[in-house]
Chain A
Amino acid sequence: MRKRLSMCTFFFFMPIAVVLSQSILAGKISDTSKESIPIVNITVHQQPGSSILAYDISDFDGKFTVEVISDLDSLYVEFSHLTYARTGIWIKNKSQQVNITLQEDATILPTLVIKDNAVRRSGDTLEFNTDGLRLREDESIETLLRRIPGIEIKGGEIFYQDLPISRFTIEGLDLLGGSYGVITKDLNSRIINTIQVLERHQYIRALDSIYRPPNAAINLTLKQEIVFSTNFEAGLGAPPFAYNGKVNEFIFHKKQQANFTLASNNISTFNRYLTDNFIFKADDASSPNLKVTPTSVPNAIQRNGYITNDDQLVVGNAIRKLGNFSTLRVNGFFDKTKWLTNQNQTRTYLLPQSKLILEEQLATKLLKREWNLKPNFEYNGSSLYVSNTTELIVNSNSDSAKYIYTPINSTERLEGAKLKVINTQNLILKRGKSAYILNSAISYTNHNANLLVSPISLFQDDFRKKLFESVNQNLEVSQFESHVFTTIYKGIAKAKVNSDVGYKFRHFASNAVTSENNLIDVPLGDNYLVNNLIASHIYYMRTFVAWEWPKMKINFSLPVQYSSFAQTIDETQDKSIFKGVTYQPKLYIYKSLSRKYGFKVSYEYNKNVGSSDNIYQGQILFNNRNVTQGNTTMTKWNNQNTNAKLQYTDDLQSLYLTLELDGNLNQSNLLSNNNIETSGIVNSQVLNNNTNRNLSTSLSGRKYIVKLNSSIGVSARNYTSVTPQIINGVKSDLKLAFRSVEPYIKYQDSKLSFKTAITISQLKNGLNNLNYYQPSLKVGYSFSKKSSIDFDATSSRFSKDDTSYQWLFSSIMMKHMVSKKLNFQAQITNISNENSYVSLTQFSNSDELLRLNLRPRQFVLSLSYKI
Chain B
Amino acid sequence: MKTILFFFLALSTASAQTGYVCEYKFQYKIDTVNNKFVKIENFYLIGNNGQSAFLPVNRYLQDSLTQENNTYKTKIINGMTVIDIGSMPLYYSSIYVLKNQLKREMLSFKQIGVNKYYSSENIKIKWVLSGDTIYSKKHNRTLNIATTSYGGRNYTAWFAPDIPISDGPYKFSGLPGLIFAVKDDDGYYSFSLEKILTNQNKVVPPSLESASAKMSVQELAKIDQSVDNSESYGVEVFSADGTSIDRLKNQKVGIDKFIERY
Q: Which residues of A are interface residues toward B (Cβ below 8 A)?
A: 38-43, 51-52, 54-55, 57, 59-60, 80-83, 86, 106-114, 120-123
Give the complex CA separation of A113 and B139 in angstroms. 8
Chain B residues positioned under 8 Å from A121 (CB to CB): 241-243
Q: A41-B166, A86-B164, A121-B242 are in contact. Are A52 and B198 (CB under 8 A)?
A: no
A81 contacts B164, C-beta separation under 8 Å: yes
Give me 7 A-to-B residue pairs in the complex whose CB atoms sit less than 8 angstroms apart, sorted by A's number.
A41-B164, A51-B131, A51-B144, A57-B101, A109-B196, A113-B195, A122-B243
Q: A41-B176, A111-B196, A114-B195 are in contact. Are A82 and B103 (CB under 8 A)?
A: no
Give the complex CA separation of A39 and B103 in angstroms. 11
A38 contacts B241, C-beta separation under 8 Å: no
A107 contacts B241, C-beta separation under 8 Å: no
Give the complex CA separation of A108 and B198 in angstroms. 9
B102 contacts A60, C-beta separation under 8 Å: yes
Give the complex CA separation of A60 and B100 in angstroms. 11
Give the complex CA separation of A81 and B175 in angstroms. 12
Give the complex CA separation of A81 and B165 in angstroms. 7
Q: A43-B161, A60-B102, A112-B193 are in contact. Are A80 and B244 (CB under 8 A)?
A: no
Give the complex CA separation of A123 and B164 in angstroms. 41
Q: Which of A42, A52, A54, A107 is the one whose CB lies under 8 Å from B144? A: A52
Chain A residues positioned under 8 Å from B17 (CB to CB): 106
A107 contacts B164, C-beta separation under 8 Å: yes
A57 contacts B176, C-beta separation under 8 Å: yes
Chain A residues positioned under 8 Å from B50 (CB to CB): 38-39
Give the complex CA separation of A604 and B124 in angstroms. 83
Chain B: CB-nearest residue to A57: B166
Does B177 count as interface, using CB distance less than 8 angstroms? yes
Chain A residues positioned under 8 Å from B138 (CB to CB): 114
Give the complex CA separation of A120 and B194 in angstroms. 16
Does B174 count as interface, using CB distance less than 8 angstroms? yes
A109 contacts B176, C-beta separation under 8 Å: no
Chain B: CB-nearest residue to A79: B164
B163 contacts A52, C-beta separation under 8 Å: no
Q: Which of A51, A110, A122 is the one whose CB lies under 8 Å from B163? A: A110
Chain B residues positioned under 8 Å from A57 (CB to CB): 101, 166, 174, 176
Give the complex CA separation of A710 and B74 in angstroms. 73
Does B215 count as interface, using CB distance less than 8 angstroms? no
Q: Which of A110, A111, A113, A122 is the one whose CB lies under 8 Å from B194? A: A113
Q: A39-B101, A41-B161, A106-B18 are in contact. Are A52 and B176 (CB under 8 A)?
A: yes
Q: A107-B164, A110-B163, A122-B244 are in contact. Are A82 and B20 (CB under 8 A)?
A: yes
Chain B residues positioned under 8 Å from A52 (CB to CB): 129, 131, 144, 161, 176
Does B133 count as interface, using CB distance less than 8 angstroms? yes
Chain B residues positioned under 8 Å from A111 (CB to CB): 196, 198
6 A-B pairs with the lowest CB-CB distances in the bound complex, closest first: A80-B164, A41-B176, A112-B196, A55-B176, A123-B243, A60-B102
Chain B: CB-nearest residue to A38: B102
Q: Which of B18, B161, B244 is the one whose CB lies under 8 Å from A83? A: B18
Best-surrounded residue of B18, B101, B144, B161 (most CB of chain A within 10 A)? B161
1/0 per residue, CB under 8 A from A, across B182-196: the answer is: 000000000001111
With A52-B129, A123-B242 given, name 16 new contacts (CB 8 A).
A39-B50, A40-B164, A51-B129, A51-B144, A54-B129, A57-B101, A60-B102, A82-B164, A106-B17, A109-B163, A111-B196, A114-B139, A114-B193, A114-B195, A121-B241, A122-B244
Q: Tell me the smallest distance from the CB of A475 to a CB of chain B, in Å.
A: 61
Best-surrounded residue of A54, A108, A109, A121 (most CB of chain B within 10 A)? A109
1/0 per residue, CB under 8 A from A, across B107-121: the answer is: 000000000000000
Q: Tell me the smallest distance from the CB of B96 to a CB of chain A, in Å.
A: 22
Chain A residues positioned under 8 Å from B164 (CB to CB): 40-41, 80-82, 86, 107
Chain A residues positioned under 8 Å from B177 (CB to CB): 41
Give the complex CA separation of A43 and B164 in angstroms. 11
Chain A: CB-nearest residue to B245: A123
Chain A residues positioned under 8 Å from B244 (CB to CB): 122-123
Q: Tell me the smallest distance from the CB of B138 to a CB of chain A, in Å.
A: 6
Chain A residues positioned under 8 Å from B132 (CB to CB): 51
Give the complex CA separation of A98 and B121 in angstroms. 31
Chain A: CB-nearest residue to B167: A39
Chain A: CB-nearest residue to B199: A111
Give the complex CA separation of A57 and B178 in angstroms. 13
Give the complex CA separation of A433 and B262 in angstroms. 33
Give the complex CA separation of A54 and B244 in angstroms. 44
Give the complex CA separation of A443 and B232 in angstroms. 55
Chain B residues positioned under 8 Å from A59 (CB to CB): 102, 104
Chain A residues positioned under 8 Å from B243 (CB to CB): 121-123
A51 contacts B101, C-beta separation under 8 Å: no
Give the complex CA separation of A52 and B130 in angstroms. 9
1/0 per residue, CB under 8 A from A, across B18-36: the answer is: 1010000000000000000
Q: Which of A40, A60, A83 is the one whose CB lies under 8 Å from B103? A: A60
Q: Tell me the smallest distance from the CB of B17 to a CB of chain A, in Å.
A: 7
Chain A residues positioned under 8 Å from B175 (CB to CB): 55
Q: Tell me the smallest distance from the CB of A54 to a CB of chain B, in Å.
A: 8
Chain A: CB-nearest residue to B136: A114
Q: Which of B168-215 contact A (CB under 8 A)?
A: 174-177, 193-196, 198
Give the complex CA separation of A111 and B163 in angstroms. 12
Chain B residues positioned under 8 Å from A122 (CB to CB): 242-244
Give the complex CA separation of A113 and B175 in angstroms. 22
Chain B residues positioned under 8 Å from A106 (CB to CB): 17-18
Q: A82-B18, A109-B163, A109-B196 are in contact. Are A51 and B242 (CB under 8 A)?
A: no
Chain B: CB-nearest residue to A56: B176
Chain B residues positioned under 8 Å from A113 (CB to CB): 194-195
Give the complex CA separation of A123 and B139 in angstroms. 27
1/0 per residue, CB under 8 A from A, across B29-54: the answer is: 00000000000000000000010000
Chain A residues positioned under 8 Å from B165 (CB to CB): 82
Chain A: CB-nearest residue to B165: A82
Q: Tell me the smallest distance from the CB of A126 to a CB of chain B, in Å.
A: 10
Chain B residues positioned under 8 Å from A60 (CB to CB): 102-103
Q: Tell me the smallest distance from the CB of A70 to a CB of chain B, in Å.
A: 12
Chain A residues positioned under 8 Å from B133 (CB to CB): 51
Q: Which of B206-231 contact A (CB under 8 A)?
A: none
Chain B residues positioned under 8 Å from A82 (CB to CB): 18, 20, 164-165
Chain A residues positioned under 8 Å from B139 (CB to CB): 112, 114
B195 contacts A109, C-beta separation under 8 Å: no
A109 contacts B198, C-beta separation under 8 Å: yes
Give the complex CA separation of A171 and B144 in angstroms. 42
Q: Tell me the smallest distance from the CB of B246 to a CB of chain A, in Å.
A: 10
Q: Tell me the smallest distance from the CB of A376 to a CB of chain B, in Å.
A: 29
B102 contacts A39, C-beta separation under 8 Å: yes
Chain A residues positioned under 8 Å from B18 (CB to CB): 82-83, 106
Chain A residues positioned under 8 Å from B176 (CB to CB): 41-43, 52, 55, 57, 80
Give the complex CA separation of A121 and B138 in angstroms. 18
B194 contacts A114, C-beta separation under 8 Å: yes
Chain A residues positioned under 8 Å from B174 (CB to CB): 57
Give the complex CA separation of A107 and B17 in angstroms. 10
Q: Tell me the smallest distance from the CB of B166 to a CB of chain A, in Å.
A: 5
Give the complex CA separation of A83 and B101 in angstroms. 15
Q: Tell me the smallest distance from the CB of B148 to a CB of chain A, in Å.
A: 14
Best-surrounded residue of A60, A108, A112 (most CB of chain B within 10 A)? A112
